[in-house]
Amino acid sequence: MADRHASQPPGPAAAADLRNLLREVPAPAAVGHRIVHSGPRLTGHTPIDAHVRALLADVADLAPLHVTPALRMVDAARELLPDVPHVACFDTVFHKDLPAPARTYAVPERWRAVYGLRRYGFHGLSYAWALRRTAQALGRPVGELQVVLVHLGGGCSACAVRNGRSVDTTMGLTPLEGLVMSRRSGSLDPGALLWLQRRHGLSTDELDDALHRHSGLLGLSGTSGDTRDLVRARAGGDAAAGLALATFTLSCRRGIASMAASLDRLDALVFTGEIGEDQPEVREEICSALTVLGVRGGLLVPELEDLMREGLRRVDQAAGGVPVLVVATGETQQIAAETRRVLGMADGTR
């Protein structure tokens, strides 16, 4: 089944691909779906019925790059597997108890009360998995930890966890806010958007397309949104690639430091996500410039094969600085665990 993993968003052939897969595997007892945005009315992982499906369609515009294709797969899977339960597992649930100051935008009350403008936070499935593995690695209960978790991949964010709960995160109403990402801009002066509309006549659709698909590392480098490409290009003298990486790692440090401001202490800094896992140059450049937080550079570089097999590695030199861990991305495993939990099944994940 691992050979059938698809990393691209589902397209028109997704239903046929799923049908072919189901012919080759044992009949599933349940289906877990990753849904990035829950919207305001769904605050826990939940079975999908007609009512839940309608609520998800209503909030798809808050994360169109993610929710729209996910719902395409929900519909295909429910049609192909009508007699098994389907569970929506949300990236926002991990942050559902964000303190009021962390979830509130400083905007007019009508925007907040009537329009529902607030911060949600994302990458929650990844964070839930990474937090549990971090507690195991440190030999401490989840409920006693104060850590900063950093998910670096196509989308990037950081999260402050105090005593096992998310208390702050860099993403907001949508997955566009926060750190510089692969193709997404991250946070941008809202006045700049108003200026682009007024002075240069950019439409909402043009802004949407540029900020989601042509910004971030790709927009800075002009060549690639992949840090592996940019590290190689920088070594070859590509100044734009160098600027892209420097801007990205500064953005990460800013995000980590701002998350640490919501904690009393820093028990560990934890990297996950594709970049967090397999880009040691990025980890080193972030950590070597975070001495103000007690984080040190000179990180160990585990073999990716070992990390994938073991699931996590401590990579700091363990010489009095803040522990730095790398956790293999576990969103799929967390979806399985949450699906079993919702349905009252035994949890077979590690």
User: Is 238 a catalytic site residue?
Assistant: no
d(CA 58, CA 67): 10
Nearest alpha-carbon partner for 77 in 39, 124, 35 = 35
| Residues 245, 231 contacting (CB under 8 angstroms) | yes
Return all residues near 193 (Cβ < 8 A) that are at least 6 apart.
207
Pick the catalytic residue from 3, 91, 209, 267. 91
Give the start-end residues of each E strand in the chain: 31-35, 46-47, 86-90, 146-152, 156-162, 165-169, 268-272, 312-314, 324-327
- Joined together, the tokens standing for residue 125 give 């499935």
How many other C-beta atoms lie within 10 A of the C-beta of residue 62? 20
- Least Cα distance to 326 among 150, 187, 207 occurs for 150
Strand partners, 326: 271, 313
Active site amino acids: 91
